[in-house]
Each structure stands twice: as C-alpha cells, then as structure tokens.
Amino acid sequence: MTPVDFLYEELRKIATAFPEVHIKYGFNKLICTHIVEMLPAEEFHSNESLDKSWIPLSFEFRNRFAEEQIAFISSDSTLALKEIIFEFNSWNESEVMSDLFQELMDSELDYTFPDTLPISTIPIESPVSEVLNCPIIKFDKGSEPEYIYQEAA
C-alpha cells in the first residue's frame, strides 16, 4: 500500500466521522511532505474528537512510512496546498451562505412604515405593543422606485 492510498483510506474514515470538516490532501514536492489541510480552522484547533482521530493517524503514518513526512494544517498555516490530489466533505461559500440564510430566503420580507406620527408622546413605561400600534401602510407593488420614499413619508 502506498502512502497516498493509506492516507486516502484513513482520511475517508475521518471525513465520514466528521462531515462538517473539509479535508484536502496534497503533496509538497519542494519539502517532500504530505500535507493534509482541515477546515474550518476552529474545528482543527478546538475539536478534541477530531484531534483524537488525526493525531494517532499521523503517528501511524510515520510508523508505516518512516521515510515519508506528513503535516496536518489548517487555513491559518504558513504551509499551503498548491495542488489538491483529493478532498473530502468539500463545500463552497455559496452553499454555506445559503444554508445559513435559508430561513430568510424562504419568505418574502415585507417592510411597512407608519403614515402618521403620534400626536402625543408615549411614556417609556408604556408597553412596546402600544408603540407598535401605529398605522401600517402597504406599498403598492406597481409604484415607481422614485416615489417609494414619498409614499413612506
């Protein structure tokens, strides 16, 4: 079994156990080192369960392939992968953003503004519900953009 085959199998197991961790593998020819990058950096630095997976793997790799070097890094390392040979649990920024903001994207936001100002002042002791009882105006969907501010006022 080659070092790359070994790493592929072992990193696949880690990727299955930690689906939130993006794992990239490459080889740096300049320093003759196998590089494994794990993202996000917070997981790499603070997930103890993940540490219990990759740290023993690094020792096992060194025992099996004594002539080979390996480094586990994250995005904040001075080492970097120039060429990715394989990766697991890949994600892209647009997928992450859409997952984070899916609830906002599912419903149309409808902003309304009061069309009158209260004549009297409302003491601070008043409940918020009284303050929010100002009349609401619904914008006409056919309004020209330049008139929206006039309608709001």
In the chain, where the domains are located: 3-106, 110-153
pLDDT at 84: 92
What's the pLDDT tens digit per position in 59-86? Answer: 999 999 999 999 999 988 888 888 999 9
pLDDT at 121: 62
* Closest by Cα among 46, 41, 54 to 14: 54
Report d(CA 20, CA 95) in Å as an integer. 13
* Closest by Cα among 10, 16, 20 to 72: 10
What's the pLDDT tens digit per position in 122-145? Answer: 565 666 666 566 666 565 565 555
Cα-based torsion angle of the residue sequence 91, 85, 51, 75 in order, rounded to the nearest 10 degrees: -60
What's the pLDDT tens digit per position in 1-25? Answer: 999 999 999 999 999 999 999 999 9
- The separation between the first and the last C-alpha atoms of the chain, rounded to the nearest angstrom, is 74
pLDDT at 32: 93
Report d(CA 24, CA 37) in Å as an integer. 5
Does 118 have pLDDT greater than 80? no
- How does strand 22-28 pair with strand 86-88? antiparallel
pLDDT at 90: 80
